């Protein structure tokens, strides 16, 4: 491992682009900066410059209050100069490097006034050798060029396009959502958003390494370790590599281990390691999350009596340690959805039904994301998810997220960071994407929780939308399968540098067959008209086997609304057609105070959804917000249960989404302040490993009562269905709920607007199980809030959500 030292005590200054040109500023040293007359401020590293401006009182303390977030747009043309001093220690046998964990985005790096490198990608680390500098004290200056200025010298291809606010994002490697999205504010930002360190690279060291499960059979696994040795030894046989892995049981005793030792004959090593009776890593709900502690050691080869002893180690030169999970992953898919279609994951050869949530930026400012990550993942775990989808509009997650998912059995679907656009694929962009993909794959491939790569988010759809149709053959023959970035470059990188996980070029993936036939893909994003959640689109037309996005609006609690919308604006949300209040618009993630702007739709849509369920949207904010949360809760409950009832025609649903990344009107089930909406509690019940639920009425008017099970064993249960309006028991019976399947237990007629309580208890293997759920008959219109709430509240099935009085 490298010895590292953080570079601290950063300062920065800033200047608008017009003044940079006017003054002819060329600042390469601290002396240049001090002589420029620009105001010098203390810089937080890791950080974003807006957070420093808030600390200095130059931006409001609560940047999320009212329309304050729009103030950030005034800084989009500002150049930034960060500078500090650091020491290069004279460490024998090492070469010093300076490593930037994350620079946002386009930058020139100077050490002692000498240009040592340039960057134009915020999404990956950048490292530069300091081998030409003497030991001692040095200064570093980082000039960050605003992306809005940088792109002015770049040409966007005719075929490339995106949303109104994100066109320029296609030209730079920066998290797309930072340009403004319907879930995030526009905050182009800039800064050193991850740590900056001096790293001492050993002359004899373990370079890239990748340990993976090549083959897994009954009671046996073949592991493969690929690694690169960096050395200046004349004779490679003087180096020996040892790899040891141990797994400890709950009592702390080693119950499984492996070891391999080899004297090297080449710097690129491949070790094939047999492992008898491996302890496997499983997603939560399927088994334990077994992690082996692995140590790779590079040593000098042992000499005895002046002779080299092959495969025997002596003095340690370098070590690497990490966790490793023994597991395999497969994706079985067809192009099209339908009776013969499929899209499902196998982990260790076992089919796994996915209950997941989309993972979006958990904060507006990238430097703070890690500090908010565990909060969100605890919610994911508590609500009963076994997968998250890291959405392609964000930065790539760090090991903070992946280590948590490894330990807690949460599978990860990882998009590459491109979203909702058709990107240029000229030589410059192809190289940027290639280098980024190599960096990302090498960084993340060792995590057992990572089960699939996806080339982007919805770019295939945008290829077809551009020509006036969602799916099917577009008018101008713009075929997403001609996308070189996802079909060639990223796919090739995943195969070359990983090779043990499935890869799809886009989500949803419009392959040649789907493009040619115009049919729906096996995996889809189910947004549709966003009208009645049990309407034709959601109940009948959405035939996808796997939904990787779907969601429904839920108003934040009144207490939360009051934290980001001023008292005078609270009652100005408008109606089902239009919202004109600037504060409500901005917190619909609109980039401008225009009621006709692209993202101004959220509040009117939310009101229409309330009206659709309750008949009328009230003026009272408390009642309105509660109605909206009931609408969202029943919608999310239906989406999840609809998929579970149709297991295995359906194989998974990743709903949108667990938590907001800033205060807003959204589909999230937990708001930015941590207040859980009603949907959180309904989803948690619907995602119980064994859950009894009601299907919608068949043609004969009867509802199936279904036991949806993700358990590994059959369950013997007794169950009741009670009409809470009358107290009458409709069903009281016993049954066997089949393992890993949906079982129809019985049928009854659910009357309109009546709420039914479903209870069950029993045994599964040696474990006792019990649970409860509810179903509302024909909930579609004129639902009475008071009676709905009262009957559920009386049974403990409705708890007033966080943030209500």
At 639-696, the pLDDT tens digits run 999 999 999 999 999 999 999 999 999 999 999 999 999 999 999 999 999 999 999 9
CA dist., res. 168 & res. 171, Å (int)? 6
The answer to whether residues 755 and 795 touch, using CB atoms and an 8 Å cutoff, is: no
- Spell out the residues 6+ positions from residue 107 whose beta carbon is closer than 8 angstroms to its own: 118, 119, 120, 142, 143, 144, 145
Mean pLDDT of 513-521: 91
- State pLDDT tens for residues 279-322: 999 999 999 999 999 999 999 998 888 888 878 878 999 999 99
Alpha helices in 499-601 (DSSP H): 512-517, 536, 558-564, 582-586
Beta bridge partners of 12: 41, 82
Greatest extent of the chain over all pairs of C-alpha atoms, in Å: 93
pTM of the entire predicted model? 0.96
Q: What pLDDT score was predicted for residue 466? A: 52
Task: Please give the C-alpha separations between residue 144 and each of 48, 118, 141, 428, in angstroms, as whole numbers.
Answer: 12, 10, 10, 20
CA dist., res. 661 & res. 391, Å (int)? 13
Q: What pLDDT score was predicted for residue 470? A: 45
Residue 632, pLDDT above cutoff 90: yes
- State pLDDT tens for residues 393-439: 999 999 999 999 999 999 999 999 999 999 999 999 999 999 999 99
Residue 474, pLDDT above cutoff 80: no
CA dist., res. 122 & res. 312, Å (int)? 44
Under DSSP, the state recorded for 178 is G
The answer to whether residues 454 and 502 touch, using CB atoms and an 8 Å cutoff, is: no
Mean pLDDT of 602-617: 95
Nearest to 632 by CA among 597, 670, 586: 670
Nearest to 652 by CA among 185, 194, 331: 331
- State pLDDT tens for residues 499-510: 999 999 999 999
The answer to whether residues 173 and 392 touch, using CB atoms and an 8 Å cutoff, is: no
Nearest to 300 by CA among 367, 240, 360: 240
Tell me which residue has tokens 């309109």: 752
């Amino acid at each position: 491992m490298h010895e590292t030292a953080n570079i601290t005590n950063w300062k920065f200054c800033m200047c608008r682009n017009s003044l940079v040109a006017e003054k002819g500023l060329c600042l390469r040293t601290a002396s240049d900066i001090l002589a420029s007359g620009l105001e010098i401020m203390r810089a937080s590293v890791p950080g974003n410059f807006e957070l420093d401006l808030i600390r200095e009182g130059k931006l409001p303390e609560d940047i999320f209050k009212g329309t304050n977030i729009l103030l950030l747009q005034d800084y989009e043309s500002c150049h930034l100069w960060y500078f500090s001093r650091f020491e290069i220690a004279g460490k024998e046998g090492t070469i010093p490097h300076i490593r930037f964990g994350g620079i946002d985005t386009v930058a020139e790096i100077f050490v002692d006034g000498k240009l040592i490198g340039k960057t134009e990608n915020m999404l990956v680390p950048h490292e530069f050798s300091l081998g030409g500098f003497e030991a001692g004290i040095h200064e570093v200056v980082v000039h960050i060029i605003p992306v809005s200025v940088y792109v002015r010298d770049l040409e966007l291809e005719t075929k490339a396009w995106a949303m109104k606010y994100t066109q320029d994002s296609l030209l730079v490697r920066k998290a797309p959502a930072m340009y403004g999205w319907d879930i995030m504010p526009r905050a182009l930002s800039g800064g050193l958003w991850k740590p900056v360190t001096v790293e001492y690279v050993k002359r004899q060291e373990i370079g890239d390494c990748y340990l993976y499960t090549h083959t897994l059979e009954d009671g046996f696994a073949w592991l493969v370790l690929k690694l690169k040795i960096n050395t200046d030894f004349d004779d490679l046989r003087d180096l020996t590599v040892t790899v040891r892995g141990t797994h400890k049981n709950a009592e702390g005793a080693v119950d499984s281990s492996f070891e391999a030792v080899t004297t090297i004959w080449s710097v690129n090593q491949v070790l094939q390691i047999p492992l008898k009776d491996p302890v496997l890593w499983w997603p939560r709900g399927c088994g334990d999350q077994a992690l082996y502690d692995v140590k790779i050691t590079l040593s000098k080869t042992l000499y005895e009596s002046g002779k080299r002893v092959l495969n025997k180690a002596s003095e340690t030169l370098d070590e690497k340690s990490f966790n490793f999970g023994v597991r395999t992953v497969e994706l079985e898919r067809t192009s099209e959805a339908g009776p013969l279609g499929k899209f499902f994951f196998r982990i260790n050869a076992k089919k796994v039904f996915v209950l997941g949530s989309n993972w979006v930026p958990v904060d507006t400012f990238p430097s703070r994301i890690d500090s908010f990550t565990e909060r969100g993942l605890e919610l994911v775990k508590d609500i009963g998810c076994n997968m998250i989808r890291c959405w392609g509009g964000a930065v790539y997650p760090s090991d903070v997220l992946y280590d948590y998912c490894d330990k807690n059995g949460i599978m990860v679907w990882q998009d590459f960071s491109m979203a909702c656009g058709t990107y240029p694929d000229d030589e410059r962009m192809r190289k940027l994407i290639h280098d980024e993909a190599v960096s990302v794959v090498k960084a993340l491939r060792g995590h057992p929780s990572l089960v699939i790569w996806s080339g982007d988010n919805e770019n295939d759809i945008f290829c077809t939308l551009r020509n006036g149709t969602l799916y099917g053959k577009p008018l101008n023959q713009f075929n997403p399968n001609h996308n070189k970035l996802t079909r060639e470059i990223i796919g090739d990188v995943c195969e070359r540098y990983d090779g043990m996980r499935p890869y799809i070029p886009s989500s949803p993936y419009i392959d040649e067959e789907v493009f040619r036939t115009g049919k729906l893909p096996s995996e889809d994003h189910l947004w549709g008209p966003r009208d009645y959640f049990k309407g034709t689109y959601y109940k009948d037309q959405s035939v996808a086997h796997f939904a990787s996005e779907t969601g429904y609006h839920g108003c934040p609690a009144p207490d939360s609304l009051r934290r980001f919308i001023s008292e005078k604006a609270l009652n100005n949300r408008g109606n089902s057609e239009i919202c004109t209040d600037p504060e409500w618009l901005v917190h619909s993630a609109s980039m401008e105070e225009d009621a006709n702007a692209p993202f101004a739709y959220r509040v009117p849509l939310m009101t229409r959804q309330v009206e659709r369920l309750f008949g009328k949207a009230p003026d009272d904010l408390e009642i309105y917000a509660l109605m909206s949360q009931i609408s969202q809760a029943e919608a999310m409950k239906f989406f999840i249960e609809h998929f579970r009832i149709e297991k295995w025609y359906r194989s998974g649903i990743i709903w949108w989404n667990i938590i907001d990344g800033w205060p807003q009107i959204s589909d999230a089930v937990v708001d930015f302040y941590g207040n859980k909406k009603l949907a959180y509690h309904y989803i948690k019940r619907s995602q119980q490993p064994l859950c009894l639920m009601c299907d919608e009425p068949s043609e004969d008017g009867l509802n199936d009562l279904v036991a949806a099970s993700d358990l590994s064993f059959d369950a013997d249960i007794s169950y009741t269905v009670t009409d809470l309006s009358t107290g009458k028991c409709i069903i009281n019976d016993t049954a066997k709920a089949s393992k890993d399947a949906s079982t129809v237990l019985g049928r009854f007629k659910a009357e309109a607007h009546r709420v039914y309580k479903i209870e069950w208890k029993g045994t599964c293997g040696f474990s006792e199980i019990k649970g409860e759920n509810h179903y509302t008959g024909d909930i579609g219109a004129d639902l009475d809030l008071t009676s709905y709430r009262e009957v559920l509240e009386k049974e403990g099935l409705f708890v007033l959500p966080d943030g209500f009085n």
